Amino acid sequence: MGTKITREYIGELRGLIEARDDKATLKMMEFLHPADIAELYDDLNIEEAKYLYMLLDPETASDVLVELEEDDREKFLKVLPPEIIASQFIGHMESDDAADIIGDMSEDVKQEVLLHIDDLEQAGDIVDLLAYDEDTAGGLMAKELVKVYENWSITTCLNEMRKQAEDVDELYYIYVVSDDNILKGILSLKALLLASGKTLIKDIYETGAHSVSTDTPSEEVSQIMGKYDLVVLPVIDSIGRLIGRITIDDVVDVIRDEAEKDYQMASGIFVDVETTDSAIRMSRARLPWLIIGLLGGILVAALIGRFEEDLRIYPEMAFFIPLIAAMAGNVGIQSSAIIVQGLANNSLGLESTFRKLVKEFMVAIFNGLILAALLFGYNILFSDSMALTYTVSISLFVVIIFAALFGTTIPLFLNKLKLDPALATGPFITTTNDIMGLLMYFLVGRLLYDIIPLV
């Protein structure tokens, strides 16, 4: 069963909030998922949202807070005292979610909230997580997990698991550790259920569990979990001790954030922006690449001016300038996008750089021959100049090969320099290939018009 959120629903809900009808307000939200309740924030003012959320039970309230957009959450938390934040929200979250929320607070508020957390063990876990870089496995992991010692019997294991499972929302794996807390492997629920009570854990657990260290980059974490179809991944320290776990929902957030960043970067946006950001911030994020594009346009204009005499003698060449520039940009974008995608999902590791270039070169030749032939056929039918026919066809073929190789090498080069290869796509490739494509077009034209009769 669910509740559809409409304008009428919002209006009725606001009326109940204004009337301070607690019972009816909660009744209206009875079948809403926490993510749906979080969306109500967009249609409520701060005081209305505060009233609404204070009606929720602590478990639901904490889930709603996690679902809020970061900017909305920051505004909402500013109107709540630290003790309410600690008791109503943080105290009912897993450590990773709590650390993410507290990490966005100012230092003063952060300290106050931590001091008001009744569970000292949870507060300590949060402090530990705040010490890790947010873009590493340590910054992604939660401390809550279920672990058993390899020398335990099945009976002891079951008794201890009941205690540990209280703090874990979802039980994916049971981790097996040594007496020194070194990760040894995982214990499946099937093996646990089928074994007798006196069986020792070390006799039935599975070795070779995938794990990451606390300083593993978040992108690498997502690649490992995607490659091996994992829903949870244990995190160990530098000497192999088990200290946390990363669940699939955290990795989905990483993948989404990385995709948004790469898409914005490929579109010529320098910093992370949201639709709710101010006009000044959005303008500042877009302006650098627009300036680069402007400079590229000036260079293109200067290049055309340099060959002004050629265009005066052979004005028909001007008709194909947009075509050459557009094809150069399109081919470069395609090649760079394939490489950037391969680098992002780690699917290029088995091929050498030389083999990548050879493959892209062969693709460029194949595509270039077909497109040049189509353009040649068009000019044979509709152009009276053989010089123009050969010029635009040969130029297009050369430009496609150059653009493909350029679009392939630049992302690989940036990756070698430890720079985000997404920088290579979008405005950078387009502007560069526009300039080089037109330069090749005019040079080929100057050469061919000198040797082919004007017929």
Question: Positive or negative CA dihedral for 105, 108, 111, 112?
Answer: negative
The answer to whether 185 and 106 are in contact (CB under 8 A) is no
The answer to whether 174 and 148 are in contact (CB under 8 A) is yes
The per-residue pLDDT for 245 is 93
Cα separation of 266 and 6, whole Å?
36
Tell whether 273 is covered by a domain.
no
The answer to whether 32 and 56 are in contact (CB under 8 A) is no
What domain count does the chain have?
3
Residue 237 corresponds to which tokens in the numbers above? 């320290």
Among 132, 166, 195, which residue terminates a domain? 132
CATH code of the domain covering residue 125: 1.25.60.10
Please provide the average confidence, as pLDDT, over all residues in the chain. Answer: 82
Among 132, 161, 183, which residue terminates a domain? 132
CATH code of the domain covering residue 199: 3.10.580.10
Cα separation of 15 and 259, whole Å?
40
Q: Residue 268 above 60 pLDDT?
A: no
The per-residue pLDDT for 455 is 43
Cα separation of 242 and 149, whole Å?
12
Question: Rounded mean pLDDT of 232-237?
Answer: 93
- Highest average pLDDT, of 69-83, 239-253, 346-360, 402-416, comes from 239-253
Domain boundaries, position 24 = 7-132
- Angle at which helix 7-18 crosses helix 46-55, to 10 degrees, equals 80
Give residue-wise pLDDT tens across range 326-371: 888 888 888 877 777 777 666 665 556 677 778 888 998 999 999 9
The per-residue pLDDT for 239 is 93
**Together in a domain, 152 and 192:** yes
Among 108, 132, 156, which residue terminates a domain? 132
Query: Of residues 112 and 306, which shows the higher confidence score?
Result: 112
Question: Rounded mean pLDDT of 290-317?
Answer: 78
Give the SS3 label for residue 235.
strand
**Together in a domain, 77 and 208:** no
